[in-house]
Structure 1
Amino acid sequence: MRLLLFSSFMMLLSTLDAQPGKTAATDFLGVSGPIKIYGSTYSLAWSSHPSPQYYKQEYLKAGEKLEKFGSMVMVEVLTGVPDHKQIVAAKLKELDQMKANNPIVNYETFENKQAGEFMIDFLLSANEADGSIQILERNVYRYKSIIDKQGKKAVLLFAVSVRSYGKQATIFLAELKGKRSALIDQVAQFKLPAPAI
């Protein structure tokens, strides 16, 4: 069960999103991998093309599972949208709504107007009934306005997600304070793939 990973492209989906029965991955975007970032190598593990405009691919390190992973890379494309601004605004609204009910939720934004890019670094949690953290997830999303192969405007999302579970969440939070900028820098400097759509 995917409890926390969700995309601004799929604005109607709940944050705590279950996706049972995942099948073998198809490389819809021409980004088969492997993707090397943050000192690790990620291979294509799952993909989806649920609508004519939307593509999503997820990449994991060797030995990790979609149901419970330590880190993941995501590449998504939404075609037929003028730029990333509307998608980013929806994402930030979503995070603000979550933050109102969960003090763990937090985010910071970064914009590169010249490159047509926007980044969100955000923290999420899924909690037990007693309030203790079940899953803690840190995400760095990088949005870029692009032109697809048909000459139409589209938005590319490149993202890295890192998770911690149960009692390890406290350690995760403590360590995050000292090395938070490292993942932001790596996602910002990563050479974005050129989707073949």
Structure 2
Amino acid sequence: MMHSKLIAAAALTALMAGPALAQSDMLGVPGPVSFQGQDYALAWTSQPTDDYFKQEYVPQDQTVEAYTEMVLIEAVAGAITPMQAAALQAQMLDARKPSDPVVNYEIIQNEAAGEVLLDFVVSDLSADPIVVEWNAYRYMPLAKGEGVALFAVSRRGYGEDGAREFLGNLGPLRSEAINALATFETPAVSIR
């Protein structure tokens, strides 16, 4: 249960990301990762527990502290399924609703592939400047062994005007990114 809570927390930790400390590939995906015509370089890695690994990738001109586009790759070993991981993230989003009026999500299950896509929006209206963030998380079974791999995209808008514009343009951006993510040939992830 602990592992699933860790992987489910990815969006919320991404929203509150601290300074980038490490850049050493731990998942066999050194980057760059190309998604929708954009290259993303490995910018941050973390190993919160012995069996949970996180990597964040941003375009060369961006940082994890103030990105507008990001790709995340994570893996957790253990007895957890993609649906369990997505459901735990949805529970965290539900718990966030009283303090975050922007929270909204949808879960799309691909039973044939054993995958789940979680599409959601969160915000931090107390930040200066405010931040609005859209994410699409594709949870997949680990190729080797028990566990879940996550391939995700994240987009942000900053400040009142930027957030308003971001949300106004989210429809087409969201549709294109979800379609691309659902069919994207994800890089092979291996826990080292």
The structure having more radius of gyration, on CA atoms, is 1
Aligned to 1:71: 69
User: Do residues 81 (structure 1) and 79 (structure 2) align?
Assistant: yes
How many matched pairs?
185
TM value normalised by structure 1: 0.85
C-alpha contact 1:8 1:90 (8 A) present in aligned 2: no
Once the 2 structures are TM-superposed, how far is the Cα of residue 11 of structure 1 from its aligned partner?
A: 4.4
| Aligned equivalent of 1:121, options 119, 122, 133 | 119
- Identical pairs, percent: 39
Q: What is the match of residue 18 of structure 2?
A: 19
RMSD value, Cα: 2.3
Q: Post-superposition, which runs of at least 4 consecutive aligned residues in structure 1 deviate over 4 A? A: 10-16
1:138 partner letter: W
Distance 1:97 1:134, change over 3 A: same
CA distance in 2 between counterparts of 1:24 and 1:80 reads 25
Where do 5+ consecutive residues of structure 1 fail to align? 1-6
1:8/1:141 CA distance change after superposition, 3 Å: farther
The Cα of 1:109 is off from its aligned counterpart by: 1.4
Gaps of 5+ in 2: none
Aligned-partner SS, 1:158:
strand
| Match of residue 188 from structure 2 | 194
Distance 2:12 2:62 in 1: 24
Could you tell me the TM-score, scaled by structure 2's length?
0.87
- The answer to whether the Cα contact below 8 Å between 2:82 and 2:148 also exists between their aligned partners in 1 is yes
Name 2:137's counterpart in structure 1. Answer: 141
Distance (whole Å) between structure 1 residues aligned to residue 157 and residue 9 of structure 2: 25
Of residues 28, 34, 37, the one that matches 2:35 is 37
- SS of 1:187's equivalent in the other structure is helix
Cα distance in structure 2, aligned partners of 1:186 and 1:51? 31
Report which of the two has the higher share of helix.
2
